[in-house]
Each structure stands twice: as structure tokens, then as C-alpha cells.
């Protein structure tokens, strides 16, 4: 493992400020909810990948970022939804 990507750029959603939610039709509101759910799932999976990366780090790498092996293990075994 060479690097860990921790900063992600999320471009604004297409038409995010186009019209208030109350003025959208039923399908528009459902799409907003589904997109929001997809973003939340993506964040949870990304968090899980980061935690798994902590478990794969060597002691020297953990020392560089100021985390002990015990802390990395404790964080790595947490559930993805936490």
C-alpha cells in the first residue's frame, strides 16, 4: 500500500439548486431520496475501506500518523455503519 486517499472532491449534484423539494413532483422527490441514500451508502463504504487500510498498515506507517496498533485494530473492527 503506497498511499491512502483521504480527501475526496464531490462536485455539486446536477440541478441541486434548481427548485425546492416541495415544488418537485413525486418522481423528483423519490430521486432526491434515492440519491441521498446512495451518497450515504457510498460514505459508509468509503469509511470501511479506510478502516481496513488501517489494519493493513505496518507499525512504522501507523507511527507516522500517530496511531498505535491497538487504536488501529479497535478502529478497523468497527462496523461500517458506525
- Domain membership flag for residue 64: yes
- Domain membership flag for residue 38: yes
- Domain membership flag for residue 4: no
- Domain membership flag for residue 5: no
What CA–CA distance (Å, rounded) separates 18 from 50? 34
**Span 18-49, pLDDT tens digits:** 566 656 788 889 999 999 999 999 999 999 99
- Domain membership flag for residue 33: yes
Domain that holds residue 30: 25-76
Domain count, the chain: 1
Comparing 75 with 9, the larger pLDDT belongs to 75
Q: What is the DSSP string of 15-53?
A: TTTSS-GGGS-HHHHHHHHHHHHHHHHHHHHHHHHHHHH
**For the whole model, what pTM was predicted?**
0.60
Amino acid at each position: 500500500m503506497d498511499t491512502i486517499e483521504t480527501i475526496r472532491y464531490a462536485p455539486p449534484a446536477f440541478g441541486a439548486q434548481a427548485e425546492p423539494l416541495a415544488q418537485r413532483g413525486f418522481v423528483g422527490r423519490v430521486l432526491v431520496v434515492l440519491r441521498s441514500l446512495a451518497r450515504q451508502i457510498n460514505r459508509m463504504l468509503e469509511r470501511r475501506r479506510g478502516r481496513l487500510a488501517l489494519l493493513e498498515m505496518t507499525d512504522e506507517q501507523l507511527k507516522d500518523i500517530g496511531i498505535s496498533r491497538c487504536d488501529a485494530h479497535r478502529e478497523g473492527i468497527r462496523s461500517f455503519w458506525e
